[in-house]
Structure formats: C-alpha cells, structure tokens
C-alpha cells in the first residue's frame, strides 16, 4: 500500500512497529548544512554569509550515546526540562533525559496524546516548565511547535531531538498555532539552539510520518511560483536563497522516495536534508513564504473547518495533495496565451458568518478584506498582469516540477 494512502488514527501514533531500518549508504548528511551554520556558505549573488539563530544542526544515523555531548555546548542552563509525549517517550525521550543527567538537573515531562499546538497546549507547556532554565523537546510537529513557542514567550532557550521526518518546521523561526478563536496562523517565534535528527529513529517511525514529510517538501515548486508571482505583481519581498540551498537535494530526495515505505535510512536522510534546508531558508527569508503559500492555506482550511468531516490526515499529507492541486491549477493558468482576468472581490459577509460562525466569521472577513480588490485595484491588477504575462510565464516554468513527477513521488 502506498504510504501516502495511510491515514492517521488517533491513539495509535504511539505504536512503533518491530521493523528495523535499512542501513544508509555512506553519506555526509551534514554537507552544506554545517557550512551554512558555520557561516562558510555565502549567497552567490551578494557574497553575504548566513546569519542563523542555530548553534548547531546535526543529522546523525544515531544520537545514542552522544546526547550529552550534543546538548552541553548549547548552555541551556543548570536545570533542563526534557519534554516528550506518549508517542516519543519510549522511542527517545527517556534515553535523552537519562543521558542529560550528567550535564544538568533534569525534569522529565511527558505530554498526553491528542494535543494540538494551540494556546491551551502552549500555556500548559509554559506552566509545566516554569521552574527550568531551558527545554529539550523530543518529538516533531505539535510537540516541537508547542515547546518552541512556549520558550519564545518565556524568553528561554530550547533544543530539539527530532523523532520523525514528518515536517519542515524543526528549524523554522515561526510556529503554527491555533488561536483560541479557532484561527490557525503562523506566529513569529524563535528557532532552537540545537537541532538533532536521529535518522535511525526517523526511519523506524511509522511510514505515514515520512509520507507527511515528503508531502510537506513537495510544496517547494508551488510556493516558489506563488511567491515569485506576488513579487512581480505587487513588488513584495522575494529571496532566491531558500531555493538555492535545497536545489541540489530535491532530486535525490525524489529518487529515493520509494525507500521511505521500506524504512530505508538513506531515503529518510535525503528527506530530512530537504526538510532541514527548507527550514533554514525560512530563517534566511524571515517569513514562511519559501515553503508555505496557497497549498498550506488549503491544509489550514481543512484543519480549521472540516470538523467531523476531517479525514484524519496529517498536515504534511494534506500539503502534499494540496501541492498537487495547486500545481495543476498553476499549469492550467500558465498554458493560457492571454492572461486571466480578475474581477472585484465580492465579500458576502452574511454567508461567511453563516458558514464560519459568530466567532471565526468576523476574523475571516477581516482577513479577506486585507487582500480584497475593489474596482480600481482590479483594473490596476489586470493591467499589470497583462504587462508582465509573457515574461512571467517564462520566469516561473523553471520553478515548476512536472506534475507526473509529483504524482509518482506521492504514489511511491
């Protein structure tokens, strides 16, 4: 069964199957990454070195036995909370906590299952870690973002031991948070001082977690086209640096994608490299746009509004399918000789209130008004699009990934 067809079943993510990961080819998993972190990599266009918030990033085939040596240089303080959850405590959380007792006093905190990265979870993490100097998160997704934003609000350092190649947010300086209102947004946060990705643990994780990471990585072409088009149409900020960083790793990741279902460390290593380089690109850019545009809006909409109809899919799985949808839409538009014509935005406030309710409805209306086009804006937009359309079509084609290639990766 293709791993992308598997669905998340609440309450079962804690299970780790008995399979052993297939050992990796001999590869320097930290090539380029270590150069960027050390300031040896420079922007080919400007000659500027990177200034990143990380002290270190390590992709290792195993972190076992090295935990204390990895964390000690980060100066997280004399009392550290090791935060795992019921899914990761046996996988790596307990091991990390035991190893770090030689460098600090350790509070072991195990979060319950079924949490979202929302204001309540973040407040719970803040409360349970209030006596410590720093935090070490052991997990991915929700756990990482919750620890990231809690420590950001409390102005304390944190590091993360990643347990799955499930998303590109380990190193991002933003956190995806669901507000009390139900609105899901990316909030400014801070990056971890250290990121330690255990490829053996990631490869042994349920295959649908790696599928989620693959899906999250496939947004690169659609996000880049969206971001570049915005730059050309509205003169918004754009940077090529995030894409230069991962340019040499996308093809190896796709070529090894079938190995994810076999729990192959080489396949997971190539995936983790792309996910890591993407999150580093977000730090370069200062915004999440390099890896989050229209396709992520679709995923956020599903999470916010599907409610009882939610299919049980993860963020990355949704982004993978949404990226394919966006790629098909972009391809249809780019095949048009004449530019599409925009019309003034019609906001049916009564219908939106009826659909989204009294709490979320006004927020959605306010957000929509920020980008709504009136008659004058629409005329200017259409005129600008007509002026740049022939050039824009040519500019974005090299950014696109063949749809068949995306489909093959998702079916692997």
Q: What is the pLDDT of residues 190-231, one digit of tens each?
A: 999 999 999 999 999 999 999 999 999 999 999 999 999 999
Residue 171 contacts residue 54 (beta carbons within 8 Å): yes
Q: Where are the beta strands (DSSP E) in 164-242?
A: 174-178, 184-188, 194-198
> Which of 13-27, 111-125, 246-260, 263-277 shows the lowest mean pLDDT across its residues?
13-27
| pLDDT number for residue 209 | 94
| pLDDT number for residue 26 | 56
Q: Which residue has the tokens 């998160």?
A: 137
| pLDDT number for residue 4 | 52
| pLDDT number for residue 218 | 94
| List of residues 6+ apart from 105 with CB closer than 8 A | 78, 79, 80
Distance between CA 147 and CA 161 in Å, rounded?
12
Distance between CA 31 and CA 314 in Å, rounded?
30
Angle, alpha carbons 97-100-103 (nearest 5°): 150
CB atoms within 10 A of CB 225: 25
Domains of the chain: 3-301 (3.40.50.1970)
pLDDT at 240 over 70: yes
What is the mean pLDDT of the segment spanning 301-315? 86
> How does residue 8 score in pLDDT terms, banded at 50, 70 and 90?
very low
| pLDDT number for residue 23 | 54
Mean pLDDT of the chain: 91
What is the mean pLDDT of the segment spanning 113-137? 96
Tell me the whole-structure pTM to 2 decimals. Answer: 0.88
| pLDDT number for residue 51 | 76
């Amino acid at each position: 069964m293709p791993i992308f067809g598997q669905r998340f079943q609440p309450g079962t993510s804690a299970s780790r199957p008995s399979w052993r990961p297939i050992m990796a080819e001999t590869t320097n998993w930290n090539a380029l990454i270590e150069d960027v972190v050390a300031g040896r990599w420079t922007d080919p266009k400007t000659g500027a070195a990177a200034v990143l918030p990380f002290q270190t990033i390590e992709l290792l085939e195993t972190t076992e036995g090295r935990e204390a040596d990895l964390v000690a240089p980060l100066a997280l303080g004399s009392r550290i909370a090791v935060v795992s959850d019921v899914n990761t405590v046996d996988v790596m959380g307990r091991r990390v906590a035991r190893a770090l007792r030689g460098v600090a006093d350790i509070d072991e905190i195990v979060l319950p299952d079924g949490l979202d990265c929302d204001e309540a979870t973040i407040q719970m993490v803040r409360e349970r870690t209030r006596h410590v100097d720093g935090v070490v998160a052991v997990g991915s997704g929700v756990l990482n973002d919750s620890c990231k934003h809690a420590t950001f609000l409390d102005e304390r350092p944190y590091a993360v031991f990643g347990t799955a190649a499930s998303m590109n947010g380990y190193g991002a300086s933003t956190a995806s948070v669901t507000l009390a209102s139900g609105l899901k947004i990316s909030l400014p946060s801070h990056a971890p001082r250290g990121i330690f990705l255990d490829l053996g643990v990631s490869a042994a994780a349920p295959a649908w977690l790696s599928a989620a990471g693959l899906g999250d990585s496939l947004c690169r072409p659609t996000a880049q086209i969206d971001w570049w088009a915005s730059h050309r149409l509205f003169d918004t900020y754009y940077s090529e640096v995030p894409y230069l960083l991962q340019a040499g790793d996308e093809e190896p990741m796709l070529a090894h994608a079938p190995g994810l279902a076999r729990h192959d460390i080489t396949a997971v290593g190539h995936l983790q490299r792309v996910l890591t380089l993407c999150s580093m690109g977000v730090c370069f850019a200062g915004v999440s746009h390099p890896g989050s545009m229209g396709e992520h809006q679709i995923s956020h909409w599903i999470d916010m509004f599907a409610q009882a109809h939610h299919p049980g899919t993860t963020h990355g799985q949704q982004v993978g399918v949404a990226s394919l949808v966006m790629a098909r839409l972009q391809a249809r538009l780019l095949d048009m000789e004449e530019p599409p014509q925009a019309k003034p935005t019609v906001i049916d406030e009564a219908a939106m209130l009826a659909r989204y309710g009294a709490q979320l409805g006004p927020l959605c209306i306010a957000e929509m008004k920020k980008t709504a086009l009136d008659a004058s804006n629409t005329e200017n937009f259409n005129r600008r699009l007509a002026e740049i359309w022939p050039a824009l079509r040519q500019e974005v084609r090299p950014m696109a990934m063949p749809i068949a290639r995306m489909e093959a990766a998702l079916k692997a």
